[in-house]
Amino acid sequence: MTETPGDDRRLPPALAEVARVEFDYADGDGIDFEPYAAFDSAGETTRWLRRWTGNAEADGCAYRVFGQDGAGGRAALWHARPGRPLTEQPVVYVGSEGECDVVAGNLSDFLWLLADGTGPAEADEEGTKRPDAELTALAERHATTPRRPAADIVREARAAFPAFAEDLRSLCR
């Protein structure tokens, strides 16, 4: 297994703070997200990607998995910008039912997505979101990008990385 340059398995401070937030999805109207207190190990990430793709050759080194939804879909930082820090890498969602796509262009935008009441699994859902005051305050402390509606964040991220889903699915066997 190849490690990405500057391999770092420590959560950035903003993600460490997100990991301490309790996400309430009991009523089905919140954010379905369970953040991790640490990134998955390189070995666990590769095992997960191999199971998802059915490809024993797949290597998870480009991903830092930091959370999941209730169905087992994963949220990860994707090392798509060589030489840039983890906080500047896009956030992707890889669902348990085969769905996958970019949900935010960087960690700052992901914080605004959460503040707007949208988690990685909800990025494609339309409808009224329930903004969260605690997550808004967290984003205000850590984000380096301007606040924008979740739909704009998702649209911009997918425009910046249009081939992500197709490239990931090409690994499937």
Helical packing angle, 107-115 and 133-142, nearest 10°: 160
Residues of the chain with pLDDT under 70: 1-8, 26-28, 127-128
Q: In what order do the strands lie in the sheet with 91-94?
A: 34-35, 63-68, 74-78, 91-94, 100-104
The pLDDT assigned to 13 comes to: 96
Q: For 76-105, how does the pLDDT look when each residue is reduced to its tens digit (9 = 90+)?
A: 999 999 999 999 999 999 999 999 999 999
Neighbours of 173 (CB within 10 A): 9
Round to whole Å and give the CA distance between 117 and 96. 21
The pLDDT assigned to 2 comes to: 41
Helix, strand, coil % (nearest 5) of the chain? Answer: 35, 15, 55
Largest CA distance in the chain: 43
- Express as a percent the part of the chain with pLDDT over 90: 83
The pLDDT assigned to 10 comes to: 85
Round to whole Å and give the CA distance between 28 and 45. 28
Neighbours of 91 (CB within 10 A): 26
The pLDDT assigned to 66 comes to: 98
The pLDDT assigned to 1 comes to: 39
